[in-house]
Amino acid sequence: MIIRAEEVKAVRALQGLESAVASVRLRAALALGSAPDSRWVGVLIERCAVEPDFQVREMLTWALTRHAASVTVPGLIDALGSQRAQARSQALHTLSKIGDRRAWPAITRELLTDADDEVARSAWRAAVVLVPEDGAAALAEVLATRLGRGGHQTQLSLSRALAALGEAVAGPVLRAARSDPAAGVRRHAIATQHLMRDPDAGFGSALEEAKRIVALGPSAPEE
């Protein structure tokens, strides 16, 4: 009888994921995460690809982290090849939360340089969590090719990713980027160095200081 009751709850939760009401979908995702069942992992991953509400997507990710990585990671890796940007982005986000380094080979250069900013940002966050020690330098080189890209939030995400790799790994590519022909790349590299030295200063102030340094030209001292 207990098994039957649990089955009924699961069916209701699965139906709830299709509701037009976000709060109902949120409760459904919570229910499926509270009683993990590998049969529903595929459904949760599929819902991540189309769910319009941020809070519900976060709950779906939480629900997936409640399941065994051996079940969730293969499905999430498959989602990285989706034509739908949200599917790729959410799968990357979930992989970063799971933290299973067996997913590292799936974090390709194509994802790290994805044309969609949300996908790229998610890929950067996942990469710095999953990268093995012997792959960190190569990762930093790829991330450095994205310096100067996008708006404030995208640049902040990249700076945080590079900062997470540490000075020993990211320092050389950032110093090299200070000589890039593009002023935007130079500014972003300098701002990232500031953020690494003083994380509490804020990225906005780091960018302003970087603009001042770039404006001074070659005469500006390299810090």
Query: Tell me, what amino acid is at 179?
Result: S
How much is the pLDDT for 1?
Answer: 42
For residues 122 and 163, membership in a common domain is answered with no
Domain count across the chain: 2
Q: pLDDT per residue over 10-50, tens digit each?
A: 888 899 999 999 999 999 999 999 999 999 999 999 999 99
Torsion of CA 128, 53, 43, 58, to 10 degrees: 40
How much is the pLDDT for 125?
Answer: 98
- Work out the average pLDDT over 60-73: 97
For residues 95 and 197, membership in a common domain is answered with no
Residues spanned by the domain of 124: 1-130
Specify the pTM: 0.90
**Backbone region of residue 148 per phi and psi (left: phi > 0; alpha: psi in -120 to 50; beta: other values):** left
For residues 84 and 8, membership in a common domain is answered with yes
pLDDT exceeds 90 at position 156 = yes
Domain termination site, one of 130, 155, 173: 130
User: Among the listed ranges 72-86, 178-192, 197-211, which one has the minimum average pLDDT value?
Assistant: 197-211
Residue 5: pLDDT band (50, 70, 90) is low
pLDDT exceeds 70 at position 60 = yes
For residues 4 and 98, membership in a common domain is answered with yes
- Work out the average pLDDT over 90-116: 98
For residues 33 and 59, membership in a common domain is answered with yes
DSSP 20-74: SSHHHHHHHHHHHHHS--GGGHHHHHHHHHH---HHHHHHHHHHHHTS-HHHHHH
How much is the pLDDT for 222?
Answer: 54
